[in-house]
Amino acid sequence: MAAQIQLVRSDGTILWSRQRDMNNHSDPQIPAVLFDEYIKNIELLRIGYSTACEIVSSDLIKDLEQ
């Protein structure tokens, strides 16, 4: 699964954009959880989104440092 990530100003100007694969098969940072487990424990979904946000933030910082 690929995610399109953008940092957008309030006027709609795109300041930064990147497409990134976001799956647990290609990135060990992303936890592997089956859909049924998300249904049983919604906290796992929050953890997954938080992890994705941390990864995206890290990508942004790396790009800005260059």
pLDDT tens-digit map of 18-59: 887 766 656 677 777 888 998 899 998 888 888 878 888 888
Global pTM exceeds 0.95: no
Q: What is the structure's pLDDT at 24?
A: 60
The string of pLDDT tens digits covering residues 1-29 is 667 778 899 999 998 888 877 666 566 77
Residue 60's pLDDT is what?
83
Cα–chain center distance at 52: 3
CA dihedral 31, 36, 41, 44 (to 10 degrees): 20
Please provide residue 28's backbone torsions phi and psi, each rounded to the nearest 5 degrees: -65, -15
pLDDT at residue 9, as a whole number: 93
**DSSP 3-state of 4:** strand
How far is the C-alpha of 57 from the C-alpha of 65, rounded, in Å?
12
| Spatial distance between the Cα atoms of 64 and 21, rounded to a whole number of angstroms | 20
